[in-house]
Structures are given as structure tokens and as C-alpha cells.
Structure 1
Amino acid sequence: MHIDTNTEKSDFEIGIYTLADLGTDPHTGKTISAPQRIKEIIEAAKLADEAGLDIFGVGEHHRLDYAVSAPPVMLAAIAQLTKRIKLTSATTVLSTVDPVRLFEDFATLDILSDGRAEIIAGRGAFIESFPLFGYDTNDYDALFSEHLDLLLKLNKNETISWNGRFRPSLNQAEIAPRPVQNELPVWVGVGGTYESAARAGRMGAGMALAILGGDPARFTPLVDIYRAAGAEAGHAPEQLQVSVTGHTFLAKTTQQAKDDFYPYYSNYWSYLNRQRGMSGRKISLAEYEQMTSPETALFVGSPQQVIEKILRQYELFGHRRFIAQLDIGGMPFHKVVEGIELLATEVAPVVRRETNK
């Protein structure tokens, strides 16, 4: 597939991300292997680049039912097969990684990719990485705050002196290599708490909103708090960028999309909730019908339906980036390819045009 639709200049970016979950296909009962999943993710990134999408993200998990624990390694491999698509973590579990190592890894990725590296930093949906890397879950929030503060300082300074609670002090330490970009774009993943939004604003980082369902209008206060906190801290409005991420499935008609996606979506929440120690019951068709209605934030439907949902959120948030998660619930790769094609050829051109007015 070679579908370059990126012909119209636009500030609005559209891309895809994956968490590399190893779900069982609900139709075949087969579970993809980690090596095959990794190969397919790399191929998806290559296709997204060729199709003219703007960004590709890879998540981080430290469990056997996910294939990727090292996003910078994955993204470095992808960098060698792509030309212009931006490459980001989605997300880096910032609480349990040394910010110096994280910065140096992504600065190296930035060099390898000729200036395409980004970081979305979050706290993660699971806690396995805390004991794995010797951190205490009681320090969950304090670790994130301190690591984010250090990461942003590393981004601005070649040499740094620093003191904190959770890692050894730095005394005129040289931070190498430096990225090709003046600074790596750093975004903070925000799920729904006002404090997380305010912290992202105070720090002057981008805010990546994970909106997985319900009425998107409920996230408007988070965007307002983020921008107000950023302005109060003295950050320029253009520095305070908002991104939206969400589950997405496209087909020629909305009914076809809803019918095709239901087995995968129900399957996804069943195994995700089991992984979190909750009930793994399947979503009923009645619940699913409500979840996929035109008023919700679940991006399931025809290209026109998804365009309308993106543009409604654009009116609410004034965001400049949308990143779709296309590959959940044990979905076979050929359906992911179809989703990339429809997103690039049917959705992206219209959204770019409509947000460029």
C-alpha cells in the first residue's frame, strides 16, 4: 500500500498507536505470538508512514500478555523503515524508569530517525514495573512528579546538577547524546484527574488525553484546567498542545463497523479487566450499542461518522492531534491494514481540511 494523502498543509496531526496486547482472536481462538506481533507492529508503522499519517506510537508493558516492554528499541527498528512519520512512546511508564536513561534512549532514537522522536509519559494501567525495577507503589504519584521534573530539565540542559528523593544526585553531569530537535516533544498522558491535567500545564508539557468512551464533553474541564495552569506558569499558548487518543474501528458503513468490531471490543475489555483483577464478563450488545452511539467518544463507524466525532471533539478542545488505537481484542492484521487505509485516505484529508479553516 502506498497512499500518500499528506498533500494539504495542516497543523492537525493524525496517527495510530498500539499497546501490543497479545489477545486471542475471538473467531479462531488462536493467540498471536510475541515475535509475530512485533513483526506486524513494524509493518503497520511502515504502512502508516507510506499512507501519509503523521505519528506512530508504541506502548510499554512488563507482562507476558503484551509484546513490547522497550518502546525505544521498537521505535528505533521502525525508524530505519520509515521516512517522516513521528515516533512516540504511548506511553512510557515514567514512574519506574530512570529519567536519564529514558532521555538518552529517546535522544538516540531522535538521531536515528533524523528528528522524529517524542515521548508520551504516563503512570500506566498496571503496577508490575514497580517491584520489577525496585520501586514502591506507595510512591506512585511522587515518583511520577519527580521523574517528570527531571526529564524536562534534562531536555533543556546538556549539563545538569540536580537533587531528588528517588535517584542519586547529579553534579554537573553531561547528558549525551543531544537530540537532533532542540528539545524532544514531551507529552503527559492524562486519563481523567484534574491534578494530572494541572501538572502537565504547570510543567509546560503537552497533554495526551486518553478518551476511551462516554461523552467527550466531560473532558472539557481537564483541558481548561491544563491551559489555565500552563498560562499561570508562564507558558505560551502554542506550547500547551492537546492530543486525543481513542479506540477506533472503521468500515465502509457505520453498521458494518459496529457489527465487525463488537467481538474484538468485547473480547478486549474482557481480558483487560481480568488482567486488572476484575470481572471478565463480555459487554452485552445493548451496552455496546450505547457505547458506539454518535454522541460518544468511541471512534467506531464509517469514515464520515469518525470524522464527525473527531471534529466534535475539535470544537470542544481545540486539540491539534488525534491518535487512533486500531488493533485491540485479538484483531487480525488484515483488518488493521484496512483501518490504516481508511484512516489515511477517507478520514485524515477531511479532518485536516476542516481544521485548517
Structure 2
Amino acid sequence: MQFGIFTVGDVTTDPTTGRTPTEHERIKAMLAIALKAEEVGLDVFATGEHHNPPFVPSSPTTMLGYIAARTEKLILSTSTTLITTNDPVKIAEDFAMLQHIADGRVDVMMGRGNTGPVYPWFGQDIRQGIPLAIENYALLHKLWREDVVDWEGKFRTPLQGFTSTPRPLDGVPPFVWHGSIRSPEIAEQAAYYGDGFFANNIFWPKHHFQQLIRLYRHRYAQYGHGTPEQAMVGLGGQVFMRKNSQDAVREFRPYFDNAPVYGHGPSLEEFTEQTPLTVGSPQQVIEKTLAFREYFGDYQRQLFLMDHAGLPLKTVLEQLDMLGEEVVPVLRKEFAKNRPAEVPDGPTHAARVAERDAAALEEVAE
């Protein structure tokens, strides 16, 4: 089981002080948060990709390359990479390069994004969102697995005798998660390729994501990749903690009420009741997160959103200390209990290379 954090990189005014960080300050804060994640023993740091204010992470591989040079164990990921508006050739090259820089500590989450205007900015039509996601990923998958590619599709110019460079590290591409909050077509796509499915269940009630995950697991097995329980599932979550739950609610409420993604909507109490958002004590975070297994089955990766809505860096670093010291050690222990032997661990480059080599030896033996 892997635990980590993800960021959307929003530049938001702190409602308690009225101060808005500069883009430079926000970017530097994200880097500090990533380094803190490794320091407190988390497994994963993931950054979103946005091309519009109030967000700053327009170049995730640039940021992750810097973090790779400053860390030793942290898995570096996106949350998400825009498969609809990025050229699959550039994705193939950028993430293979990052793989080499980070000695394999890289995976990637594909998504369509949640900002409609980004499509025409990059010459695409939002009405083609699902077909773009399907075609572009089919090409990316091919580019990482074939040394010389001939290809023709609907949305980009054809390729003839093309080789993407550098080639994936050790001949094993980055592990791919397909992220979705609403689309069964994306769950189907993840299942078809035997990739991971990341249900970013931070906004909608759990029964919606139960349906998506159930579909993904069922189709994963039908496509012959393994049992439903062996499918790779990741989940999102949001937390704000203080030792005393009343203090947590009182401190976080102004940030929640003014957040660009969910402020001025349902109350904090309604939102925490209906979604994974937990505002309270570390024990409350532990209890709510452990309940995810009851809803979705055993899964491989849990990412928390912690640095949004204008929270100052000092506060976020305090949150990470609590997460690393008081929450994640308990979650690791409890999630390991009664975990069936057939349920795989979270993906790592080393494990996937070993799996590839073992399969090759088995073929030779036969």
C-alpha cells in the first residue's frame, strides 16, 4: 500500500490574512512540500497539470525533475497529465527522460482535465474529449513499447518509422494510472490495457465511485489481466487535522468556505459527510480512510490533497508532520491486516522489471 499527497497548485488568497502568494512563492512552496513528503516517510508526490490561473503547474516534468534530484525514495507522479491536449509523442519523450533522471521513480496519471477552455488553446475540441483520450493513449502506449512506430489516426499527423527517445528505462515504461471522476469510458480504457485506475473521489459520494471501480475490476478480469482483486486501484482524499477536532474545524472553515473548487456551495459539515474530506483529529482521519476498503475493496495507492484553498506553507508542513508521524504508520499496519495474498502491492519500477524478467524466464522454460 502506497501513501502520498497530490497538489493542484492553486494560487489562492488566504482568507484569514487577505494575502495572496505570488506564483514564485507558490511554486517554491510546492517544492518544499514534496521534499517534506519524503522526509516524513510518504511514498508518492503527485502534481496536477493546469494551463490557466489560478493554477501554476503548467510543466509537471520540470517540477518533478527538480524533485527527483533532491530525493531518493519518493515516487514522482502526475495527477493528472492531460492526454487530450498534449501530444502523445511529447508525453512519451518527457516521461521517459524523467524516468532516467529519477532512476525509475516515476509514474503518470492520464486524465482529460477539468478546464474546458484548455482544449481550443491547444487546438482541440472539447466535444472530442473521450475520443482524444482513447486515441492519444493508444499511440502513447505503442510509442513506449515499439522501437519503430508507423501510425495514423484522426487527431494528429501520421508517423512513419518514428522512434521516441529516450527509450523507457530498462525497457519498462512508467506505470500508468487513468484518472477519472465520472467517465466509465476511462475505467474501461484502464481495464483494457491492464493499467491502474485512479478514482479521484474527492467531490462526489462514494456510491458513484463504487460503480466505476466495480466496472474497472470486472473488465480488468475479462480482458485477462488477472482477477478483479488484482486490479490496481488508487483513491484520492482530503484532510485537515489538529489534535483537537473542534480546533481543526474552526481553523479550516474559512479556507473551505472560500476555496475556488468547492467554496460557496455545500457546508463543511455536508461535504465531510458526503465525500472523503476529513476535518478533525488524526484518529478521525485514520478511521475514515480505513473505511475506504469497505467501500472499494483492497487497493494500492492513497493520495491526500493537503495544500489547497490558500493554506499557508507553515500549516501544510505541520499537516504533513501529523500525516507522517500519526496517521500513515497506523494506516500501513491496519491495511496490511487480513490483506489477501493475491492483492498486489503498489507499482514500483523495480518490481515491474522483476515481473517482466520472471515472465521472460518462464517463457524460456516452457
Match of residue 249, structure 1, among 234, 237, 240: 240
Once the two structures are TM-superposed, the CA of residue 247 in structure 1 deviates from its matched residue by 2.1
Residue 277 of structure 1 is matched in structure 2 by none
One-letter amino acid matched to 1:140: G
Structure-2 separation of matches of 1:66 and 1:218 = 27
CA distance in 2, matches of 1:19, 1:332: 15
CA contact under 8 A between 2:201 and 2:275: conserved in structure 1? no
Residue 238 of structure 2 aligns to a residue whose secondary structure is strand
Q: Provide the C-alpha distance between the structure 1 equivalents of 2:302 and 2:34, rounded to a whole number of angstroms.
A: 16
Structure 1 residue 214 displacement after superposition: 5.2
In 2: Cα distance, 1:178 partner to 1:51 partner: 33
Q: Which residue of 1 aligns with 2:209?
A: 219
Deviations 1:18-41, CA, capped at 9 Å, x for gaps: 111010100111111111111111
Q: Tell me the residue number matched to 1:208.
A: 198
Q: 1:108 matched to which residue of 2?
A: 97
Q: How far apart are the structure 2 equivalents of 1:236 and 1:163?
A: 31
Displacement after TM superposition at 1:192 (Å): 2.2
* Identical-residue share of aligned pairs (%): 37
Residue among 264, 272, 282 paired with 2:261? 272
Aligned residues: 334
After TM superposition, the structure 1 = structure 2 runs for residues 64-213 of structure 1, keeping only pairs within 5 Å, are 64-180=53-169, 182-213=172-203
Tell me if structure 2 keeps the 8 A contact 1:107–1:179. Answer: yes
Name the TM-score, length of structure 2 as normaliser: 0.87
Are residues 1:350 and 2:339 paired? no
Q: Runs of at least 4 residues of structure 1 off by over 6 A? A: none
Task: Return the alpha-carbon distance in structure 2 between the equivalents of residues 90 and 215 of structure 1.
Answer: 20
CA positional deviation for 1:195? 2.6
* C-alpha displacement of 1:356: 1.2
Task: State the superposition RMSD in angstroms.
Answer: 1.7
3-state SS of paired residue (1:75)? helix
Shift, 1:255, TM fit: 2.1
SS in 2 for 1:262: helix
Residue type at the aligned position of 2:321: E
Q: Indicate the SS of the match to 1:246.
A: coil
Q: Deviations over 1:267-303 (max 9, x none)?
A: 11xx337xxxxxxx7246xx2222224x742132211
When structure 1 is superposed on structure 2, of 220-229 and 128-137 the one drifting more is 128-137
Residues of 1 paired with 2:115 and 2:207: CA distance? 27
- Residue deviations 1:227-280 (CA, integer Å, cap 9, x gap): 111111222347621000122212212222222111111211xx337xxxxxxx
| In the alignment, structure 1 residue 60 sits paired with structure 2 residue 49 | yes
Deviations 1:137-168 (A, max 9, x none): 22222111111211222232232222211112
Residue by residue over 1:74-121, the C-alpha shift from the partner in whole angstroms, topping out at 9 and shown as x without a partner, is 111111111110001111111000111011101111111111111111
Q: Distance in 1 between matches of 2:203 and 2:292?
A: 12
SS in 1 for 2:57: coil
